[in-house]
Chain A
Amino acid sequence: MDPAGRRSVVDVALHDQAVVMAEAATRAKVLGRLRLGDAVFRHTTRAAAIGVLALLSAVIVSLIAGSVPAVRTFGFGFLLSESWNPVTDKFGALPAIYGTIVTSFIAMLIAIPVGLMIAFFLTELCPQWVRRPIGIAIELLAGIPSIIYGIWGLFVFAPFLQETLQPFLINTLGNLPWIGSLFAGPPYGIGMLTSGLILAIMVLPFITSISRDVFEAVPSVLKEAAYGLGCTTWEVVRNVVLPYTRVGVIGGVMLALGRALGETMAVTFVIGNAHRISASILAPGTTISATIANEFTEAVGDLYTSALIELGLILFVITFIVLAIARYLLLRIERRIG
């Protein structure tokens, strides 16, 4: 290494300066400078850390400030109104909130069991040597930008659904009493079901990778004890691994839910952007993020813009709560596993 490293730093600095003055005075000066540099660095890093907090506060404050005109005009009714008419300046958030929740619900309904089963396969069943490649491949799914899901969903997936799954659903489940209305109407291809399915593919990697990590952290003694009693692999996972990791799995699910609620581009392509609440999940709808993405640049008038910003605020508050719960749960299991 650097031979200078063996001397004291002050000496090195003195040496570098080609000392002219009396050594004692210069030594004090260099020391002072180092001390100053130290303090400056320390406070700069601290300021940056506080800056991260300030960033979040600034986001919230700016959204609140931007939505003041809409809040003043529509009040609490904004959350419950179904109308969305830029011409008469009547805006309500209910269809967008409804669409956001329905698409995310469909996504979670599919992604949770599939994600957990993949984690089960990766930790208990699959041979050691394919574990890493499959894990990486699943995580690559998470790396694909959402706009890619969008363009693929619009040109490949939606037409495919229109010709296969949707007519099938309409002809079978659509005729049943009770749930029939969920699957009524013509097969558009695009719509809430399609968006939910694409969201499911997008959040799958989050659920899989977090559940895999917490599954792996289960002490082998527990699993071996269960095997010793004669449990099958599935019984071990079902009765030992899952209960032990429940908090972490729920944390991962909430994290995925946060993603699904806020996802914009993939949904914007395939949701259909229709401001109405349909009983059928095959019908086009809209979500909060898709509404903002589609309409914000075209919004004329302060009230229209403000209504869209208020939608953004609602979305941010919902995802903030979901993500905060997710982080809290994950923190708890991290502490327990150590």
Chain B
Amino acid sequence: MPDQVFATRYSARRHRNIAASALALAATAFGLGWLVLILGALLWQGFSGLSVAVFTKMTPPPGSAGGLLNPIVGSLVLTVIAVVIGTPIGILAGTYMAEYGRYDRLTSVVRFINDILLSAPSIVVGLFIYEIMVAPMGHFSGWAGGVALSVLVIPVVVRTTEDMLALVPNALREAATSIGLPRSLSITRICYRAARAGMVTGVLLAVARISGETAPLLFTSLNNQFWSTDLNQPISSLPVVIFQFALSPYHDWQALAWTGALIITLAVLALSIGARALVSTGKQS
């Protein structure tokens, strides 16, 4: 083949390479662009509404001023219930998978199912809790909302607990056994301590995950326009209020929805950045 053909082929390949690289760069800019656009819109729209009143006043009827106190408190209450129910179950299940049954068939099945639960549609969880709690009890309630969120907490905590316990060196377990420590104590006193940073990260990630969840709350805890901490009654929550207010025709409700959205996003970002920082300091020490 003459040299010329080689040269043109070579330059064609080079050009294709340059084009692909440029496309990759453009794709990255495209991906990051959305983050900037969304956060920018949130700050732009939500920041102006941010004031003391947001944290001290109740949700208003349309046309009057108010704040987001009851949904913020409601969200905190629901999150606490979800964490209190979901974390122990998740940690215990993760403990079994990493400590007792690491090579069991049961563990691989649970891991598989857990990974599916991790990304299962959250609206289905809402339907499930409606079926087992709301319908038999005959009314929407804060408890149902909390339990629905706990169903979302469990898989996250199971996953991180198992992963983190698997990283604990076996030498620690052997040392514990050699001084006569029973298995349960060697797990709770030695392994848990060694894996603590990672396990806390798991809980933080779970909180980040549920704090923006709306779908499972729509027909479990419903919403409450008034101040209520009675868990047998419908309770207000920030995501549901955002949903309701954003879709309303009233301008001041929409403004409050933006402010609520900003609060949730900042909380979620702070939680996930905090979780990341915790993991990286845990790795260094």
Q: Are B246's CB and A155's CB within 8 A?
A: yes
> Which of B52-60, B64-72, B265-273 has 4 or more CB atoms under 8 Å from chain A?
B265-273
**Nearest-neighbor residue (CB-CB) of B99 within chain A:** A45
Q: Is A269 an interface residue (CB 8 A)?
A: yes
Q: Are A147's CB and B131's CB within 8 A?
A: no
Q: Is B180 an interface residue (CB 8 A)?
A: yes
Contact residues of A: prevailing secondary structure:
helix
Which residues in A have their C-beta under 8 angstroms from that of B180? 8-10
Which residues 129-158 in A have Cβ within 8 Å of B in the complex?
A: 134, 136-138, 140-141, 143-152, 154-156
In the complex, what distance in Å separates the CA atom of A51 from the CA atom of B88? 12
How many Å from the CB of B200 to the closest CB on chain A?
Answer: 17
In the complex, what distance in Å separates the CA atom of A137 from the CA atom of B31? 9
Q: Is B236 an interface residue (CB 8 A)?
A: no
Which residues 271-312 in A have Cβ within 8 Å of B in the complex?
A: 289, 292-293, 296-297, 308-309, 312
Which residues in A have their C-beta under 8 angstroms from that of B17? 232-235
Chain A 40-78 near chain B by CB (<8 Å), digits 1 or 0: 111011111111110110110011011000000000000
How many Å from the CB of A9 to the closest CB on chain B?
Answer: 5
Q: Is A241 an interface residue (CB 8 A)?
A: no
Q: Are B96's CB and A45's CB within 8 A?
A: yes
In the complex, what distance in Å separates the CA atom of A156 from the CA atom of B37? 10
In the complex, what distance in Å separates the CA atom of A295 from the CA atom of B116? 26
Q: Is A261 an interface residue (CB 8 A)?
A: yes
Which residues in B have their C-beta under 8 angstroms from that of A261? 121
In the complex, what distance in Å separates the CA atom of A259 from the CA atom of B116? 11
Q: Are A201's CB and B124's CB within 8 A?
A: no
With contact pairs A46-B101, A147-B214 given, residues A9 and B179 touching in the complex (Cβ less than 8 Å): yes
With contact pairs A145-B265, A154-B246 given, residues A125 and B96 touching in the complex (Cβ less than 8 Å): no
Which residues 201-228 in A have Cβ within 8 Å of B in the complex?
A: 201, 204-205, 208
With contact pairs A66-B127, A293-B215 given, residues A148 and B184 touching in the complex (Cβ less than 8 Å): no
With contact pairs A62-B132, A261-B121 given, residues A52 and B34 touching in the complex (Cβ less than 8 Å): no
With contact pairs A45-B96, A118-B24 given, residues A312 and B123 touching in the complex (Cβ less than 8 Å): yes
Q: Are B272's CB and A140's CB within 8 A?
A: yes
Q: Are A52's CB and B154's CB within 8 A?
A: yes
In the complex, what distance in Å separates the CA atom of A71 from the CA atom of B112? 30
Q: Is A108 an interface residue (CB 8 A)?
A: no
Which residues in A have their C-beta under 8 angstroms from that of B187? 41
Which residues 82-114 in B have Cβ within 8 Å of A in the complex?
A: 88-90, 92-93, 95-97, 99-101, 106-107, 109-110, 112-114
With contact pairs A137-B32, A293-B218 given, residues A320 and B95 touching in the complex (Cβ less than 8 Å): no
Chain B 34-69 near chain A by CB (<8 Å), digits 1 or 0: 110110011001000000000000000000000000
> Which of A16-24, A31-39, A85-93, A172-180 has 4 or more CB atoms under 8 Å from chain B?
A31-39
Known: A40-B184, A154-B247, A237-B20. 11 other contacts (CB 8 A): A38-B184, A59-B125, A115-B27, A117-B24, A143-B269, A145-B214, A148-B265, A232-B13, A264-B121, A265-B215, A296-B127
Residues of A within 8 A of B (CB): 5-10, 34-35, 37-38, 40-42, 44-53, 55-56, 58-59, 62-63, 65-66, 113-115, 117-118, 120-122, 125-126, 134, 136-138, 140-141, 143-152, 154-156, 201, 204-205, 208, 232-235, 237-238, 255, 258-259, 261-265, 268-269, 289, 292-293, 296-297, 308-309, 312, 315-316, 319-320, 323-324, 327, 331
8 A-B pairs whose Cβ atoms sit less than 8 Å apart in the complex: A45-B92, A48-B95, A59-B124, A117-B27, A144-B265, A205-B31, A264-B214, A316-B121
